[in-house]
Chains A and B, each alone.
Chain A
Amino acid sequence: MPARSIGQEFTKGLWSENPVFRQLLGLCPTLAVTGWVINGLAMGLATSFVLIFSSLVVSIIKKLIPSQVRIASYIVIIATFVTVADRFLAAYFPDISKDLGPYVPLIVVNCIILGRQEAFSSKNSVGRSLIDALGMSSGFVLALLVLSSIREILGSGTYLGHQVMGSWFKPWIIMILPAGAFLALGILLGIALQIEKKTKSRV
């Protein structure tokens, strides 16, 4: 891997290695919680919190972990921060916590987080791991925001609970149903690939 500048380390998470659109990681929460923008945002922030702090801890103690048990150790670290996030949401935002249901505890099996520990934090310095985690989190939040915005506007004609479409608008119920999540993400992936191809051919 060629050495990247700090800036590139951050921006790669936004587009060229975007966890959702480019790497197809963490699709379960991406599909499940994006019916409303507020839920998508909460999910994105909770996942970011877990990812950033897990990366920080893993990169600090990477020399102490024997390589045979590294996966188990990462999982315990991740699970600890997920518990913190889960309790925090339940205490301060009980409504959102109820809406998200089992998907908050399920952050623990989100492949983005374990993937970054294995692929990046266990090999890089604390600073770089932190930047990488910040970039990946932003990419994930971005993807959730795009998908949940499309689904909420088309599916219920609102944005963050406020009416944005006129009274002529008939909500596309399908968009807030599971089927709409699959369809919207499938089309978005196609668009992302097309944009990627266009920018590549220009260079």
Chain B
Amino acid sequence: MELVAIFISAILVNNFVLYYFLGICPFLGVSKKIDSAVSMGLAVTFVMTITAVVSWAINNWILIPYGLDYLKIVSFILVIASLVQLVEMFIRKVSPPLYQALGIYLPLITTNCAIMGLALLAALREYGFTEAVVFGIGSGLGFTLAIILMAGIREQLDLADVPEPLKGAGISLIVAGIMALAFMGFIGMIK
């Protein structure tokens, strides 16, 4: 039950983009077309799941037992950067079609604060192993959901008559605000 609550809350209630404001850069940058939004979402979900596993292992097996808590920031960011590199090489070798689909989005993920945020939040809440993995998958799916919805709306926005100064980032943020309002309706789902 606990795990279901973590999963649902990561996707809907405490959505990474709309509640924690993590991953805004790709959310605004890669949401012009639904196709690329789907690829970006998948890439993020993939990396998030692996990050949840690896950062949990590092935190619980190395940092905490040896009292190195203050090295958390440095070690997490280095792990994420090298992890993304590794995942990229691995996918290129094992599944060229998937590599083609994810393309440039993989390297971009290193600077995505959602990944770092995931590692930090999981450590902050002292999640166990299964909880951390479920949290990682849920957060990734939540990000995917938000970016796909955003891309769908923006494809329609191209046809709308938006005031000149609000074109681009301005209207996207306002749309995101309205989406955040809508997502607030999910709060009642989790106690």
Residues of chain A touching chain B, judged by Cβ–Cβ distance below 8 Å, are: 24-25, 27-29, 31-32, 71-72, 75-76, 79-80, 82-83, 86-87, 101-102, 105-106, 108-111, 114, 174, 177-183, 185-187, 189-191, 193-194, 197
Can you list 27 residue pairs at the A/B interface with Cβ under 8 Å? A24-B169, A25-B25, A27-B21, A28-B21, A28-B25, A32-B20, A76-B74, A79-B77, A80-B74, A82-B73, A83-B71, A105-B73, A106-B116, A109-B112, A109-B116, A178-B18, A179-B178, A181-B21, A182-B173, A182-B177, A183-B177, A185-B173, A186-B166, A186-B169, A186-B172, A189-B169, A190-B170
What string of 1s and 0s marks CB contacts (under 8 Å) between B100-119 and chain A?
00000000000111001100
A106 to B113, CA, bound (A): 7
Q: Does B33 contact A (CB under 8 A)?
A: no
Q: B170 and A187: CB pair below 8 A? A: yes
Query: Which of B77, B81, B177 lies in contact with A180, CB distance below 8 A?
Result: B177
Query: Which of A27, A114, A190 lies in contact with B165, CB distance below 8 A?
Result: A190
Given A76-B74, A79-B77, A83-B74, 11 more A-B residue pairs with CB atoms under 8 Å apart are A27-B25, A28-B24, A87-B70, A114-B111, A177-B184, A178-B18, A181-B177, A183-B174, A186-B171, A190-B163, A193-B170
Q: A76 and B78: CB pair below 8 A? A: yes
Q: Does B176 contact A (CB under 8 A)?
A: yes
Q: A101 and B124: CB pair below 8 A? A: yes
The residues of B that contact A86 with a CB separation of less than 8 Å are 73
CB of B185 to closest CB in A, whole Å: 11
Q: Does B180 contact A (CB under 8 A)?
A: yes
Which range holds the interface residue count of chain B?
Answer: 35 or more
Closest to B18 in A: A178
Counting chain A CB atoms within 10 Å of each CB, the highest count among B23, B77, B172 belongs to B77
The residues of A that contact B129 with a CB separation of less than 8 Å are none
Q: Does B19 contact A (CB under 8 A)?
A: yes
Q: A72 and B113: CB pair below 8 A? A: no
Known contacts A76-B74, A76-B78; A193 and B21 CB within 8 A of each other: no
A63 to B120, CA, bound (A): 33
The residues of B that contact A24 with a CB separation of less than 8 Å are 28, 169
Known contacts A187-B170, A189-B173; A83 and B73 CB within 8 A of each other: yes
